[in-house]
Structure 1
Amino acid sequence: MSEGFGLVVRFLLRDQEAAAAFDELCATTLEGIKSAEPGTLTYVVHVPEGEPLVRVFYELYVDRAAFEAHEAQSHTKHFLAEREQYLSGVEVTFLDVIGGKAAALQ
């Protein structure tokens, strides 16, 4: 499993109102990802148990070029431009795949 590129992003949201608006922004963005990004293997938004003002994204791409293609999409640019108004913090961890099990590509 030498290919693959991923990241985990932890977003800290200002308050419940910001969390609701951020979730709407995520839903809109996910529609674009589902329809226009074949190199995006996994893109999942999580709420950690007991942390209602935190969202964790897990993203896995075929390779770094697929991630860069994701970043260039209009829906991603919109998300990046709009998200700041809802946040009190963000932490990004980039991941290089060294092994594991992945679902078969269709």
Structure 2
Amino acid sequence: MSGAQYAVTARFDLKPEGVEGFDALAQWRIEQAAANEPGLVGYAVHRVDGEPLARVFYEIYRDETAFKEHRATEQTAEFGRRHVPFVQGPPRIEFLNVLFSANGLAPRP
């Protein structure tokens, strides 16, 4: 893998009654991204150890353009509309810049 990947995390804090619905929606979103976004390098949803109501999306794109293409999809807009009842507030989104890496993750210039 070469080039300058673009990575993003998004942390969602769920309502206790929203876990099942959110997890099903997140799985749908991952499947849609895998099938329809050629600029996607990696996309995973994680549980946070010791925080059963926390979910973190970890996303790696070929470059910033691929991330912008991801943001412009109807699936992203639909996820944005549908996740709201399951969460306690807006997600915490962080944009990441690789400093050091293994296995081909390249620093952005």
When the two structures are superposed, what TM-score results if normalisation uses the length of structure 2? 0.85
Aligned equivalent of 1:95: 96
In structure 2, the partner of 1:73 is 73
Q: Distance in 2 between matches of 1:10 and 1:68?
A: 19
Aligned residue number for residue 35 of structure 1:
35
Q: How far apart in 2 are the matches of 1:2 and 1:73?
A: 23
Q: Which runs of 5+ in 1 are unaligned?
A: none
Secondary structure in structure 2 of the residue aligned to 1:3: coil
Aligned equivalents of 1:88 and 1:33: distance in 2? 24
Alignment RMSD: 1.8
The match for 2:47 is 47
> How far apart, in 2, do the equivalents of 1:97 and 1:50 lie?
27
Q: Which runs of 5+ in 2 are unaligned?
A: none
Moved over 4 A (4+): none
Q: Could you tell me the percent identity over the aligned residues?
A: 34
AA aligned to 1:102 is N
Measure how far apart 1:78 and its partner are.
Answer: 0.6
Q: TM-score scaled to structure 1, two decimals?
A: 0.87
Read off the aligned partner of 2:101 and give its amino acid letter: G
Deviates more, 1:83-92 or 1:54-63: 83-92
